[in-house]
Structure formats: C-alpha cells, structure tokens
Structure 1
C-alpha cells in the first residue's frame, strides 16, 4: 500500500510502454482496467488512500490501440468511490466496445441498479481488501445477488488470499455469476500446491464462478518489471488450462496501489505463456468475455 499524503500525486503507469510482440485476436478484451479523472470533471473520493496521477479515458483508448485491444471492461475503483460517472463517460465514448463494473453501496436501490445496467454496467464489485474501504459482510453481498440477477448484472469480488477460505466459501451461494479478481491475490512465490491456490481452484469447480488471470505482477511479490513474472504466469496458465471457460484477463492499468510500475507491453506478451495455444487465447480474450459481459454485436 502507498502511504503517501493525499497531496502527493503518485505516478502508476508508463507513458510509453513497449510495443508487444504478441498479436492479439480480433475482438480481444481487456477485462480489468480503471480510469482516473480528469479531476476537473470527475472528483476523487475524499475516502481514497492516495492520489494517483490522472489516467483519463483518452490515455486508456490510446494504450489499447497500441496493444491491439479492441474491447474492455472498466472497473470502478475507490479513487472515485461510488460515483460511477467517470466510467459512464468512458462507456459512452467507447462506441459499444467499453463496458463497466460499478461500485455501489449495499443499500443501492433497484432503480439505480437498473439505471447502471442500462448505461453499460455489467456487474457490481465489492472489496474485501484491508487497504480499501468497505467492510461488507459477504453474506449480505450474496443476499444482494437476486437483485443483480433481475437487472442482468453479475458480482465481482476482490479479497486477500487468506479470505478464500472464508469469504470464498459463501460465493457459490450467489444467484449470479461471480468473478474473482486477480487470481484471489494468492502469493505466487508459494506455488501451486499452497492451500490458498488449491482453495481457489476448488471454488472454480462451481461453473458459475470465474477468475481474472490478471495481476501476475501483483501476486509475484519478489519480482519486478522486466522479469516476465514467471511464477505469476505459471499460476495463471494453470487456471487457463484447468478452467478454460471460466477465465478472463486484464492489464489492471493504471496499476494503482502497487510496489512498482509494470510495463503493459510485457503483460500482453505474457499471454503467450498464459494461453499458449490459439484456442486458449481466443477463449480467454474473446469467447469468455463475450459470454460474461455481453458486448453489443
């Protein structure tokens, strides 16, 4: 976690990431990014933990054009809190190629959920991370899921790896599909045999649970940009191999609350090892996101 003052702007992304060698399939989807600002239009939340540099939609669109990505799901972060206007604006500008995941209060009305769904939001996200505001009871979150089902939305969750044994056990009760962020934030240095990763795979025995094989740069805590993140890649590849229909992928740009700034071109090239066959890559980047997020055709 970054403990700098809110007056200090934290740079979290590279302005000039390298051009990836891997050519992505048509309609490739980045299923996890954020947009921040501009603050002149979209205020940062006073509850945020730090102040990341502005990362507006124009920079995101330019990054995707460089990486060969044509579809995207933008996830609301605590930088903007539960005011999802910044994502609504990006969705509107995205011409049907950009959709969203909202942050909402537990007491969100059915009318607001319906409005968000109509604006291109496909899910709501709840954080169970120590460094993020929230404090939700997972049982209450699961009770919300029939209301999500009524408007065609699913549930996305972000939790510490240890919580896979507690919070994770409630997720199969969800009335809608559940997407687990960043491989459950397991520690890749502990390997595939560790109980946290094994518990994550056991959860995925439930077909309506899904996982984002994003965050290879986050779960390999001893590595840094330029390394290729081999331990994170190994776990991601294992999930894609074992659960080919339940995995999606994302850059996690602009990489907030991180230990270092990853190179997005490096993260794209890692897909050649995460999904090494054309069929795996097509499922991960095109087929599965289309099924889960329902991009307009």
Structure 2
C-alpha cells in the first residue's frame, strides 16, 4: 500500500445543478485497490487507492447515470482494473484502454467485449510517450473496424505540431481537457487558436473537462470557463465532459467535485447544450445503449 495522500476530495459538496437523465461522466479513473490491482512497476505515479466504490458513490450523489473510465498510467497496459469497474455496472459504464499502438487485433477484440471503446495516448512530459504519427496512422483503421476512437492527452504546445498527423485519420479523435491550455495566457493565445483550428475538422472532438487544470485561479475557476464555453458554442455536437476524478497529478489540494459540476451551466448555457454535452453526444460517441 502507498502512503500517498488522497488525490480526491473525500466529502464533496452536493452540486446545485440538476443533471439531465442519462448524464454521463466521460472522463474519470480508478486506482486499485492495490491489494487486488497492483500498480505497474514502471509507473512513477503511485497514488493512494481510489477504488470503483468511491467513484460510484460520487456519481450516485451527483446524478451521473453513465460513465467512461479511462485507464490510468499507474496501472500501465493491464486494463483489468477498469474492466472490473465496467463489469460492476454493465451497460452503464464503458472504458478507454491504454495499450501499445501495435496491440494485436485479437487483444483489441477482447477489450471491446469487456466494454472498452477507444485507446488513449499521452503526450505529456510527466507520462510515458505516446505513439508517433506513423503508428497512429497504422492503428486507426483497426480501431475504425471496431467502431472505436482515439483519445489524446497532450500538452497545449504540441497541438499545432500534431495537427497534420490527426486531420486525415479515419476515426474520431478526442482531445482531452480543452487541449490542456493555460487560461492565464488569454483568449488569443496561439495554443487555443491551434485547438480551434484542429476542431474545425469534423472527426475531431473535445473534452471540455479540466477547467480546474486550465485555470490559474482559485475555485470556481472563472478564468477557464470562457475557453470551454467557446468550444461548446462552436462545436455543440462534438463535445463531452468529465470529472477527471480522482484528479491525478493535480497542482494542489484536491478540487471539490461540487465546484466542478456547478460549472456545467456556465460551460453549456445555450438551449439544448447541456443535454447534448452530457447525454446525446456521449451516447453517439461511445455507443451507450438504453438501459432500464
């Protein structure tokens, strides 16, 4: 067991937002418990446990009915911790896997049967490097055959350079956390302009999650909201949102998830935008089925 402090707020306040039926958290993680799901020996990130039961409790409290759990680097390419959480809430919870770009097709099919719907690659200095452009181009048709997509987590300064590798791929490409822009750099920063140009391609999606990461202010992270809102206004049918629970590698004390949920009406204020962001778009991207 690790002696690391919790990365998540143990008693978040209740959100003031009433979420629509079928509301979906499209980006969160589970860590351990390590006694059952040990961390990868190669991972430099070994957080305190954040098990599925704690995630389910948060969702039930806030009104989240469906979820997409993203495999964390602390578990490496062993996606069993996410598969276990998916199996506990079948049909309502799906997953995004971590795997090398040359993963065997049969292994992809096994993950698909477990409820995974895409692969994530990281391009952040604190994480293992992602696949290069050639590897993504080779992988994408195999993902397309499964109805999967690519999910990319990149430093904002890489958006422009990676754009040529992404614009012609035959699968949806989802950019995490508003491209990890720095809200303090202002609306006209080159990184945000590069993100907007990238999102003009019809197969590019954006997670308007991570306002607390983009912000350089204290809660309620006012400086980040206009960036997320502009993406929603420009591309209301290609945006999704997630909590990023349990907030790995956050810059300070864990954010209160109630604060993050309360941002939703400000991020998606227009008629029908919250329904699209939280329900309709996730259903289309991930293929959620109606459940009783």
Q: Same fold judged by TM-score > 0.5?
A: yes
**1: CA distance, partners of 2:160 / 2:3:** 37
Answer yes or no: is 1:140 the counterpart of 2:132. Answer: no
**1: CA distance, partners of 2:30 / 2:222:** 28
**1: CA distance, partners of 2:43 / 2:224:** 28
State the secondary structure of the residue aligned to 2:272: helix
In structure 1, list runs of 5 or more residues that go unmatched: 1-5
Rate the CA distance shift 1:7–1:25 in 2: closer, same or farther, 3 A. Answer: closer
**1: CA distance, partners of 2:114 / 2:74:** 20
**2: CA distance, partners of 1:46 / 1:138:** 27
Answer yes or no: is 1:234 the counterpart of 2:226. Answer: yes
User: Structure 1, residues 25-53: CA drift from partner, whole Å, max 9, x if none?
Assistant: 00000000000111111011112222211
Q: How many angstroms does 1:75 deviate by?
A: 0.2
**2: CA distance, partners of 1:217 / 1:243:** 21
Answer yes or no: is 1:173 the counterpart of 2:165. Answer: no
Query: For 2:107, which of 109, 112, 120 is the aligned residue?
Result: 112
Alignment of 1:5-154 (within 5 A): 8-154=3-149
Equivalent residue pairs, number: 289
Q: Structure 2 length as normaliser, TM-score?
A: 0.96
**2: CA distance, partners of 1:95 / 1:150:** 23
Instruction: Tell me the equivalent position of 1:156.
Output: 151
Q: How many angstroms does 1:135 deviate by?
A: 4.5
Q: How many angstroms does 1:193 deviate by?
A: 1.0
Rate the CA distance shift 1:200–1:111 in 2: closer, same or farther, 3 A. Answer: same
Answer yes or no: is 1:279 the counterpart of 2:252. Answer: no
State the secondary structure of the residue aligned to 1:230: coil
Answer yes or no: is the 8 Å Cα contact 1:186–1:197 preserved in 2. yes
Answer yes or no: is 1:248 the counterpart of 2:240. Answer: yes
Rate the CA distance shift 1:16–1:145 in 2: closer, same or farther, 3 A. Answer: same
CA-atom RMSD, angstroms? 1.2
User: Structure 1, residues 90-118: CA drift from partner, whole Å, max 9, x if none?
Assistant: 10001311000000012200000111111
**1: CA distance, partners of 2:2 / 2:287:** 40
**2: CA distance, partners of 1:86 / 1:280:** 33
State the secondary structure of the residue aligned to 1:196: helix
**1: CA distance, partners of 2:53 / 2:271:** 30
**2: CA distance, partners of 1:216 / 1:7:** 28
Q: How many angstroms does 1:189 deviate by?
A: 0.9
State the secondary structure of the residue aligned to 1:52: coil
Answer yes or no: is the 8 Å Cα contact 1:117–1:152 preserved in 2. no
**1: CA distance, partners of 2:144 / 2:113:** 14
State the secondary structure of the residue aligned to 2:223: helix
**1: CA distance, partners of 2:284 / 2:101:** 26
Query: For 1:197, which of 170, 192, 195 is the aligned residue?
Result: 192
Instruction: Tell me the equivalent position of 2:259.
Output: 266
**1: CA distance, partners of 2:5 / 2:179:** 25
Answer yes or no: is the 8 Å Cα contact 2:102–2:139 preserved in 1. no
User: Structure 1, residues 161-186: CA drift from partner, whole Å, max 9, x if none?
Assistant: 00001113311121100000001101
**2: CA distance, partners of 1:175 / 1:272:** 33
